[in-house]
Amino acid sequence: MDDRDWELFLLPYEQAVEELKVKFKTMRAELKKREEYAPIEFVTGRVKKISSILDKAKRLDVPRDQLDTGIEDIAGIRIMCQFVEDIRWVAQYIRARKDLTVLYEKDYVTNFKESGYRSFHMIAEYPVQTAFGQKIVLAEIQIRTLAMNFWATIEHSLNYKYRQSLPAPIRDRLKTAAEAAMILDNEMSSIREDILDAQKSFEDEANLVQRVLKDIHRLYFLHKVTEALESQQKFNELWEKQDFIGLQQLGESVRKMRKSGARMVEEEQDE
C-alpha cells in the first residue's frame, strides 16, 4: 500500500475542483444575464477516491510515483446541458479561457463507446496556488446532456458492483437504455426552439413579478404608503388572473412613482 500522505496529496485536487465549480457556475450566471440563455444547466465536481485512484493506476500500469501525471481525472468536473447542441458551445467557452490549458479532448458524443457511453471530455491543466507556490494539476471536464449523465451514473454504479465485469444480460440492457437516451436527446433537440421559448417566457414572467414587488416595497421607504398599498392590492388582483400584460403596465406605473418619490427625497435632502 502507498505510504504517502494522501490528504496532503489530494489537497490541490480538492482546491482545483472547488475553484472550477465556482468558475463554471459564475460563467453560467454571466451567460444567463448576457444572453438570457445559458447552455450550462448545472455543474458538479468530485475528487477521485483513493481506492479508485489505485485501481486505475493498476489497470493502466501507472507507477505510484507518477500518479499526478498518469491519472488525468483525479480532479473531475461535470457540466450538464439540456441539449446535445449545447455541448459544443460549452466546449468552445472552455477552450477560450485563460485560467486553464486544454491539453486534448475526447469526443464520445459523436464517437460513443461500444457500451453506449456518451460524453465530451476535456483534459486540462489547471494552476492551483498552494501555500508553497503554484502547482499544476490535471483535471477532467466532462460535458454531457442530462440524459447522458443519468445513463453514465447508472453504468458507473453497476461497473463498481461487478468490478468492471458486467454480466451479458445487464450489458445488453444498458445498451438498449443508451439507445433510448440518445432518442430522448434527439427528440429534445427537435423541439429545442419551443422549449427555449417556453423557458424564456417563464423567466420573463418571474423577473417581472420580482421587479414589480421590489418596486412596490421601495414605495414604503419613500413614504408613499397609500400608493404602495393600492399597488399591492392591484398586484394581487392581476396575479390572481395571471394577467401579465396588466402586471407589466402596473410595473411601469409603480416605477414612475418610485422615481418620483426618489426625486422628492433628494430635493428634501438638498434643502
Per residue in 3-23, pLDDT tens?
789 999 999 999 999 999 999
What is the model's pLDDT at position 132?
87
pLDDT for position 221: 87
Q: How far apart are CA 69 and CA 22, in angstroms?
A: 24
Q: What is the pTM of this model?
A: 0.82
Find the helix or strand (DSSP H, E) in which 228 lies. helix 225-240
190/67 Cα distance (integer angstroms): 43
Confidence of residue 163 (pLDDT cuts 50, 70, 90): confident
pLDDT of 266 above 70: no
Whole-number Cα distances in Å, 181 to 79, 81, 102, 116, 117: 17, 14, 28, 9, 10
Candidate list 19, 72, 140, 227, residue with the active-site label: 140
271 included as an active-site residue: no
